[in-house]
Amino acid sequence: MYQLTNTLDLLEKAFEACFKATGLQFRVEATGARLADGWQADALVRLQAPGTDVQFIAEVKKTLTAATLAVALEKLKRLEKKTLLVADYVNPYMAERLKEMRVPFVDTVGNAYIHEPPLFVYIKGEGPPKVPKGTKRTRAFQPTGLKVLFALLCRPELVKADYREMAKVAGVALGTVGWVVADLKAPGFWLDMGKRGRRLVNKAKLLERWAVAYPEQLRPKLVMGKFAAPDPNWWQAVGAGEFNAYWGAEVAAARLTQYLRPEFVTVYVRDRAEEFIFRHRLKKDPRGDVEVLKAFWRPECDWVDREMTHPLLVYVDLLATGDARNMEAARIVYERYLVGLVRED
């Protein structure tokens, strides 16, 4: 399939670059192996060198950004085996950060970090590869498509509905559903089994792709601004539902996990944002610790606790901060509330 071919191509290029730079040789042993919690490994690879014989779970990232790195690190933390991050390019900042966190990596231009005593390799600063012109982004992971995917992930039974119902629940035009489904079929996320109906598969990977795309593609369009509040604990006495609003990120995670003490308040508001801001005396401040966003989903995708965003959105917003404390809370949210959503039928 298209996705698998890209994965193997990137692995081959990265391992060839690593061999040229270091003399170390990786071997791909398997692809698509099933792991815990519904995750699927991009590949199982082995590194053999004098004094070293190690199998890694390879996590392949075509593009490494703050968002993709946060998602990858949260996933890798929950796996029991040794892991290797394989990327098209790891810039010097990312390389230093991965080294500090003891996350081994290789890329397609020869940058690498591997620490398996007695073996130690650290190369950074090699320039990025040339990007082919005309590369197109999959439309399913653009803003409108992300709304459809959110609805499908929150309500898995929706995959069996007709396209008109999907469009209604996702709050998009009917034609949008058709090209989103087409984009999901190509990498094998959507199966049409004729009389046996339709189903989403590899949902953990689909959730991961959504978690990477949402902060970059859709979230920036929803931000109404940052604000300062007169009292840091103001939100504790506020009933968000009264304003068609939903607590997100740290506040929602605190309620879901009892792990965090919120330092930053994220609130999604459906249609009464100005009233919400005025009533709680929030003042516009680019350095404020309150962020107000427009709710993008329809009420049909509300979670059971209608005063907070769906755990899927809580998880993704926490990861997008890149904060270690929030990433740990995201892991707890995933294990408690999202494993069931991505479990294969």
Q: State the pLDDT at residue 34.
A: 65
For 139-205, CATH number out of 3.40.50.300, 1.10.10.10, 3.40.50.10490, 2.60.120.620 equals 1.10.10.10
CA distances from 77 to 19, 25, 168, 332 (A): 27, 25, 37, 12
State which residues of the chain have pLDDT below 70. 1-5, 32-40, 66-67, 78-80, 129-137, 345
Q: State the pLDDT at residue 147.
A: 94
Q: In this predicted model, what pLDDT tens digit does every residue of 122-151 receive, in sequence order? A: 998 777 766 554 445 578 888 899 999 999
Q: State the pLDDT at residue 96.
A: 84
Q: State the pLDDT at residue 244.
A: 87
Q: State the pLDDT at residue 113.
A: 94
Q: State the pLDDT at residue 79.
A: 67
Q: In this predicted model, what pLDDT tens digit does every residue of 296-308 receive, in sequence order? A: 999 999 988 888 9
Q: State the pLDDT at residue 32.
A: 67
SS (H, E, C) 162-191: CHHHHHHHHCCCHHHHHHHHHHHHCCCCEE
Residue 52 structure tokens: 């070293």
* Domain edges within the chain: 2-123, 139-205, 215-342
Q: In this predicted model, what pLDDT tens digit does every residue of 161-172 receive, in sequence order? A: 889 999 999 999
Q: State the pLDDT at residue 1.
A: 35
